[in-house]
Amino acid sequence: MYADGSAGTPAEGSTRLFNVKMRASRGGAHVSGAERLVPAARAAKTAAALAERAMSRTACDPSAVHIKIEPAESALRIPAVPVSEFRAKSHAEARAFARRLLEDAGIARTDGILEMFSGLRGMRGAVLLDVDSLERLEPDRARGVRVTALDSSPSIPPCAGLGKDHFSEAVVLASKVLAAPGMIGEICVSDDPGYNTGYVSLKGRGYCRISNLKDPAAAGGGRIFLFRGSRAEAQETIRWLETRPVVVENVPPRPGAAAQSRMEGIEAELREIERRGLYRRCRLLECEAGPHTVCGGRELAVFSSNDYLDLARDPRVKQAAADAALRWGAGTGGSRLVTGTLPPHEELEKRIAAFKGSESAMVYATGYMANVGAIQALVSHGDAVFSDALNHASIIDGCRLSGAEVFVYRHLDLEDLGRKLSLARMFRRRLVVTDGIFSMDGDAADVPALEEMCARHDAFLMVDEAHATGVAGKTGRGLCEHFGCPPPDIVTGTFSKALGSEGGFVCTSSALAEYMRNKSRPFIFSTSPSPAQVAASAAALAVLESEPWRVARLRENTALFASLLQGTVPERIDGAIVPVVVGDERRAVEASERLLEKGFLVPAIRHPTVPRGLARLRVALSSSHREDEIRSLAAAVRELVRQDAPSAYLV
C-alpha cells in the first residue's frame, strides 16, 4: 500500500532499477538538475545523456557536473493523476479559478496561500505548507522540500535529445506528491518572467494546467505543497517525497495535444502570436531586386536585402540565366544522382571550389539544404556536434536532424567550446559548426583559433560563409582570405546573398565530397538547381572576381553607417550587417514602420530569429547605396533612439 491507501506495485520485478542523478553547478551554486529511474542496462547511457543535457544548456554554463547512480530500493508503480486544462483569458480569471479549486477541496485560506508566491523566488525545492495555519513546515526554508527518486513508465528515453517535456515531468511530480502521506495538493507558479502558465493538483481532482496563473507584474514564483497533519507526520512526508522511489505509469498527453480537430487552436495561436508582436506577413515589392524598390506605389531605399554587391540585377548575371534556360531548359527533371547534373552544375562546382581554395565542391538547391545536408552526412547517432549559441536556424535544424548529441557553446567563446570538447572524447566523431559572419549580429568567428582547437581535439570544423562570401577578405573570398589561414574541413555558403542568385554550396576535400555525395540526403533526394540558377551564380562569381571594388565599396558603406551610429550599435562589425537592438518586439515593429514612413525598408527581427527581448532593426548595407541615403537613414535611426530610449546594446 502506498501513502493514500491504494495498492502500489513493486517496480523492479526481475529488473533492478537504479536512480541516475545529475546535479550541475557553477561556482558552487546549483544551476541544473535531473534524474531518471532506469534498469541497470540503461544506467550508463542515461548518465551520459543527463551530463550532456547540462553541458549543452547555454543558460546553465556549469563549471561542474556531478553524476550519482544508486539502487532504487522498493520502488513503487503508481498511476498518473488525471489531467485537465483551464485556458484563462487573464490573470484575474486564472486566480479566481485556482481559488475555486482550492475551496472545493476544503481549503479555507486560499487568498493567503496564493499571496505567498509574491515572496518566493530562487528556491530549488518547494514550500511545505500547513493549509490550516499557513505555517511553513520545511526544516530549511532556503532549501525547501525536493521531490526526487521518480520517473515515468515508459521512461523518457535517455538519449532523446536536449529538450524537456515540461508537461509530462510536471504530471509525474504531481502524481508522487499527491501519493505522499498527508498531502492534499500542490500549486506551481513559474518564476520565469516569460512563462505565465502554472498548475494546481489536488487529491480527487488531479492535475489542472492553468494559463495566465502567473501575475505578469510579479517576479516571484515557485511550488507550494499543501499538507494537513502533525509536525511529526510532516517529517515522514518529507522523507517519503525525497527518498521513496516511485515510477508513475500511463502519463497522459497534454489535454488537447492528441485529440484536436485539424483547425482547432490555429486561429487562437495566430491571435496570440499577433498579441506578442511576433506576427509575420509577406511584403510585395513591385520591381526587381536592388538598393531601391517600389512598395505600395511608394519608392523606398532598401536596407534589408542580402544582395550586398547588387548583382541580382546585373545584366551579365541575368543574361547568363536566360541563356542557360534557353540552352538547357527550365529544370533538370531529377536529383543530382539521376538526371540533375548538367555542364552548368559541374562548371559552378569547379568555380566555387577554386574561389574558396578547396579541392572539391557540391552545389545544393538552397543554402539551408547545404547546411542540413553537410551536418547530417558527417554526424549521426554516437557522434557529437558543437554549435555556437547564435548559429543560423539551418545549422540548428541540421544538428537536430542528424541524431548526434548536440553541445551548444556560448557565442564566440573558445574557452567554453574547449571545455565541452574535452568532455566529449567518448564520441565516435566530433564536428564543430559555426556561422562565419553571424547574420543577426554582424560579428565573425575566429577561424584560425577554431582550426587550432579542432586539430587539438581531433574534430572536424565546418564554417557557414553565407554572409562572408563576397563580403570578407580583400576580394570577397571569405574569412580565410581575411585571416590568411587555410580553409577549414568544410565551408558552406549560399549564392543567394552577395552573389545575387540562388542555391547553396559545400566546399571541402575530394574525399569528404565523395563521402557526402553518398550520404547527404538533401543532395541525393532533392531535384537539382535549375540551369538558369547555377549559370547566374557562375556569372556572379565571374563579376566578383573581375570587380573586387564592389567588396571595398561595401566595406566603406558599412563603416560609414556604423560610425554615424557610434554608441548605438556594436563596436565590432565584421560584415555588412549592422544591428540596432530595440528590445521589445512590438517596439521593434513600430520602429520599422516609422522608418518605412520615412522611405527606408528596414526589417524588425524578432523571436524566434533572435532571443526574446532582443528584437532589433537589422540594417543590411549594399555596395550601391549612396552616401546621402546612408546618412539620412542614420539620422532617422538616431531620432528613433532618442525618442524611444537607448538601444539595448547600451542597457
Sign of CA dihedral 439, 440, 441, 445: negative
210-224, 280-294, 320-334, 553-567, range with the lowest pLDDT: 210-224
State how far the Cα of 113 lies from the Cα of 97, in Å rounded to an integer: 14
Going by C-alpha positions, the residue among 612, 582, 609 that lies closest to residue 594 is 582
218-222, 258-262, 318-322, range with the lowest pLDDT: 258-262
Write down the pLDDT at residue 75.
80
Write down the pLDDT at residue 50.
82
Each residue of 236-268: pLDDT tens digit? Answer: 999 999 989 998 998 888 776 555 566 767 777
Which amino acid is residue 611, in one-letter code?
P
C-beta separation of 383 from 432 below 8 A: no
Write down the pLDDT at residue 644.
59
For residues 302-312, average pLDDT: 95
For residues 345-373, average pLDDT: 97
What separation in angstroms does the CA of 431 have from each of 331, 421, 510, 609, 631? 34, 10, 18, 24, 43
Is residue 564 pLDDT above 90, yes or no?
yes
Is residue 454 pLDDT above 90, yes or no?
yes
Write down the pLDDT at residue 264.
64
Q: Which CATH superfamily, name and number, covers 292-302+549-650?
A: Aspartate Aminotransferase, domain 1 (3.90.1150.10)
Local confidence band at 193 (pLDDT 50, 70, 90 cut-offs): low
Between strands 29-39 and 206-210, the pairing is unpaired
pTM higher than the cut 0.85: no
State how far the Cα of 45 lies from the Cα of 21, in Å rounded to an integer: 12
Burial category of 175 from C-beta neighbours within 10 Å (exposed 0-12, middle 13-18, buried 19 and up): buried
Going by C-alpha positions, the residue among 432, 456, 435, 352 that lies closest to residue 390 is 435
Is residue 123 pLDDT above 90, yes or no?
no
Q: Which residues are catalytic?
A: 439, 467, 497
For 315-546, CATH gives 3.40.640.10
State how far the Cα of 148 lies from the Cα of 166, in Å rounded to an integer: 16
Write down the pLDDT at residue 8.
52
Number of H helices, E strands in the chain: 19, 26
State how far the Cα of 561 lies from the Cα of 637, in Å rounded to an integer: 11
DSSP SS3 for 651: coil
The grid cell for 18 is 537504479
Q: Pick the residue with more confidence: 293 or 28?
A: 293
Domain spans of the chain, in order of start: 9-71, 77-249, 292-302+549-650, 315-546
Query: How much is the mean pLDDT over the chain?
Result: 87
Is residue 14 pLDDT above 50, yes or no?
no
Is residue 166 pLDDT above 90, yes or no?
no
Each residue of 41-99: pLDDT tens digit? Answer: 778 888 888 887 777 665 566 778 889 888 877 788 899 999 999 988 888 899 999 99
Each residue of 518-531: pLDDT tens digit? Answer: 999 999 999 999 99
Is residue 615 pLDDT above 90, yes or no?
no
State how far the Cα of 553 lies from the Cα of 543, in Å rounded to an integer: 15
Write down the pLDDT at residue 158.
39
Is residue 127 pLDDT above 90, yes or no?
yes
29-39: strand order across its sheet: 29-39, 17-26, 64-71
Q: What is the DSSP string of 548-571?
A: THHHHHHHHHHHHHHHHTBTTB-S
Is residue 137 pLDDT above 90, yes or no?
yes
Write down the pLDDT at residue 12.
40
Going by C-alpha positions, the residue among 76, 535, 571 that lies closest to residue 348 is 535
Local confidence band at 148 (pLDDT 50, 70, 90 cut-offs): confident
Maximum mean pLDDT: which of 145-154, 430-439, 634-643: 430-439
Write down the pLDDT at residue 262.
66
Is residue 651 pLDDT above 60, yes or no?
no
Q: Pick the residue with more confidence: 622 or 56?
A: 622
Helix (H) / strand (E) element for 316: namely: helix 315-328
Is residue 569 pLDDT above 80, yes or no?
yes
Is residue 648 pLDDT above 50, yes or no?
no
Each residue of 465-518: pLDDT tens digit? Answer: 999 999 999 999 999 999 999 999 999 999 999 999 999 999 999 999 999 999
Local confidence band at 650 (pLDDT 50, 70, 90 cut-offs): very low
State how far the Cα of 18 lies from the Cα of 111, in Å rounded to an integer: 41
